Structure 1
Amino acid sequence: MNRPAWPGDAAPYRRTPEFTETTVPGGLLRAHATRSGTWARLHVLEGRLLFRDLVDGAELLLGPGIHPLIHPERPHEVAAPAPVRFFVEFCARPGDFAAST
């Protein structure tokens, strides 16, 4: 994937509940993006999740220990073709926390 580097000072400020292939919100299954100043990291706990970067067309099959970094305002989507358990962690740089919470 051709993306800018993850900022070293980005820190978590919120996370979603855990989702499964049956509870994943529809909004994650179609094109969406984080807002300006919000970075995200996918955490697959069990199973497999397909991540699609809609800018460069890259697809990654994610398993535990593989955490794609999602950059602000970058369109992407996921697919859950098999049993999976995952959550999304939202991060911001220190100066962006006020805008992100």
Structure 2
Amino acid sequence: MSTEPYKSTPVFDAHSLPDAIRNAHSTKAGVWGLLRVLEGRVSLIFHDPERVVEVTPDNPAAIPPEAVHHVETDGPMRMQVDFYRSQPPGVAA
């Protein structure tokens, strides 16, 4: 089992964050996401059950396969999502 992501998004800021991430979406079956904030903070909103996770540079967030979610920003930030084939190491789901 690899502890390295197999793919990563570009680094996004509050202006370049795509609408697809700002609106409800999910990863595919078997794909885990790891939302990492490099600067600032974002809110990771899960839809069912509804849950809000505040993501900061010291608090990355795992995104389980097929979990519907979106990201909200409220100021300057830089973030990136890494993708894994199993739960990312060291991060609770």
Higher helix share: 1
Length, aligned pairs only: 85
Matched, 1:23 2:23: no
Aligned residue number for residue 89 of structure 1: 82
Larger Rg: 1
Unaligned runs of 5+ in 1: 1-8, 94-101
With over 3 angstroms needed to count, the CA separation of the structure-2 counterparts of 1:58 and 1:10, relative to structure 1, is farther
Following TM superposition, by how much is the alpha carbon of 1:65 offset from its aligned partner in structure 2, in angstroms?
1.8
Q: Which runs of 4+ in 1 moved over 3 A?
A: none
With over 3 angstroms needed to count, the CA separation of the structure-2 counterparts of 1:71 and 1:41, relative to structure 1, is same
Percent identical residues: 32
Q: TM-score, normalised by structure 1?
A: 0.79
Amino acid at match of 2:17: V
Aligned residue number for residue 60 of structure 2: 67
1-side partners of 2:79 and 2:40: how far apart?
Answer: 9
Q: TM-score, normalised by structure 2?
A: 0.85
Match of 1:42 among 35, 41, 44: 35
- Cα RMSD of the aligned pairs, angstroms, is 1.2
Following TM superposition, by how much is the alpha carbon of 1:85 offset from its aligned partner in structure 2, in angstroms?
0.2
Which residues in structure 2 correspond to 1:6-17 (within 5 Å)?
A: 9=1, 11=3, 12-17=5-10
